[in-house]
Copies of this chain bind each other. A is one copy, B any other.
Amino acid sequence: MTRSHRGTVSVVTGTPALLTDHYELTMVQAARQSGTADRRSVFELFPRRLPEGRRYGVVAGVGRALDAIESFRFDAAAIASLEGVVDPDMLDWLASYRFTGDVWGYAEGEAYFPHSPLLMVEGTFAEAVLLETVLLSIYNHDSAIASAASRMTLAAGERPCIEMGSRRTHEEAAVAAARAAYVAGFDATSNLAARQRYGVPSAGTAAHSFTLLHDDEADAFRAQVQTLGVGTTLLVDTYDVGEAVRLAVEVAGTGLGAVRLDSGDLGLVAREVRAQLDELGATQTRIVVTSDLDEHAIAALAAAPVDAYGVGTQLVTGSGHPTCGFVYKLVAREGSDGELVSVAKRSKDKVSVGGRKYALRRRSPAGTAQAEVVGIGDQPADDGNDRNLLVPLVRAGEAVGRATLEEARARHRASLDELPRAVTMMSAGEPVIPTVFER
């Protein structure tokens, strides 16, 4: 596992302005027509519920969202492509667009629950509504990955998890997935762009193709050990596992770093391989398992002699829940008298609560979370037990709430440590704390 020297530099290429729905622009054009475009507005990004059976969710994508807000500009090519979507007057307005409002939100890595107000975006209607699509895209994707990843790292306990799902998701989603998994406790990724852009440590073993390329398995193992050292991880299930393990120790010696198993009954095979490695004197050689793992498969291997988990498909697809279902709703806006008024859609099946929100994690004197408290109006002072959840992220258009990925990882661990112990249960259940609305 190696780490880039470049640290947490974020490399966003191009502007995200066109990663936006057509109607955001036509709505602004119409609001400019009716004189309402500049009404001060508050949008809330929140989940109506957790995915069925999940006990908590994890916020990720905050840093990427801040990048998107700061770089959200319509360049000449973007403007040219919008002819026919909006009128020339609106194109002029877009050409000088930048977000100048304020944003508060949950810190990256924080746990969330139904109706947690994850982002409060305040600005003119026109400025704030244009951010809807890209903010939802980032939060819905990254938080889905982090929420799945968090359960996997809980199930793995002290054993490291390595993200290797890039090939099973969109190539750019893969980079964001590696980042989100790292926030939620993964130790490394296979993805080299996540290493470059975000400083996530990268790691890798070898594929079956590498063994098949060589005239025999011994040639392949020798080539890998010669160039990558005895600390490397040899893939031992291309032909016969027992023979490959014998050969691996013969080639690399008892100092061999690890072997990887990618097929079969992993628990059973891991026991056999552990016994064989020990018998060969390779007692420190680790066993890495991969092959369609999810949090349940990881938990089921807890008693097996496994040292690390490589997780792919189920991680990058959110383990059955590839999106969070977050929505971005107007909850308050300036009225014709200049006062801010709460607004909400009247719909039986899609409930929203109007008004600018605050959010607290209510804790017992011992520090255990008891409820997610959501209220309307100004945030009360932090009393030491109730922990304020909304932190300033953007002030007058400038990002003020950037955190490093290490800080987000620490926030994730602290947030989980504070929750009731049922958080570790992999079975389907209710949210581990209730959401309570206060007035």
Contacts and interface: CB of A to CB of B under 8 A. Distances in A.
Contacts of A239: 345-346
A439 interface: no
A57 to B, nearest CB: 15
B171 A137 contact: yes
A21 B164 contact: yes
Contact of A141 (B13, B31, B173, B313): B173
Interface string A348-360: 1110000000000
Contacts of A333: 212-213
A195 B81 contact: yes
A248 B365 CA distance: 56
A135 B192 CA distance: 15
A322 interface: yes
Given A3-B84, A141-B173, A210-B27, A196 B347 contact: no
A219 B34 CA distance: 8
Contacts of A147: none
B18 A192 contact: yes
Given A192-B18, A193-B18, A31 B213 contact: yes
Contacts of A313: 323, 325
A130 to B, nearest CB: 11
Interface stretch (A101-109, A199-207, A277-285): A199-207
A23 interface: yes
A414 interface: no
B6 A81 contact: yes
Contacts of A30: 206, 210, 223-224, 226-228
Contacts of A222: 34
Copies of this chain, how many?
2
Given A226-B30, A333-B213, A21 B208 contact: no
Nearest to A90: B227
A96 interface: no
Interface residues of A, number: 115
Interface string A39-59: 101010000000000000000
A28 to B, nearest CB: 9
Contacts of A82: 192
Given A78-B196, A84-B3, A192-B81, A173 B173 contact: yes
B347 A237 contact: yes
A204 B168 contact: no
A427 interface: no
Interface string A185-198: 00001111101100
Given A19-B191, A22-B191, A142-B170, 17 more contacts: A4-B84, A6-B81, A22-B190, A25-B204, A26-B204, A26-B206, A26-B227, A30-B228, A32-B227, A129-B207, A134-B171, A141-B173, A167-B328, A168-B323, A169-B322, A170-B173, A317-B323
25 contacts: A4-B81, A13-B13, A19-B174, A19-B191, A21-B192, A22-B189, A22-B204, A23-B207, A26-B204, A29-B228, A30-B223, A30-B228, A33-B227, A34-B223, A68-B171, A85-B195, A129-B207, A137-B169, A141-B170, A170-B173, A171-B172, A238-B347, A263-B350, A264-B348, A313-B323
What 8 pairs between A and B have smallest CB-CB spacing?
A: A23-B204, A34-B223, A22-B204, A136-B167, A170-B173, A209-B330, A172-B172, A81-B196
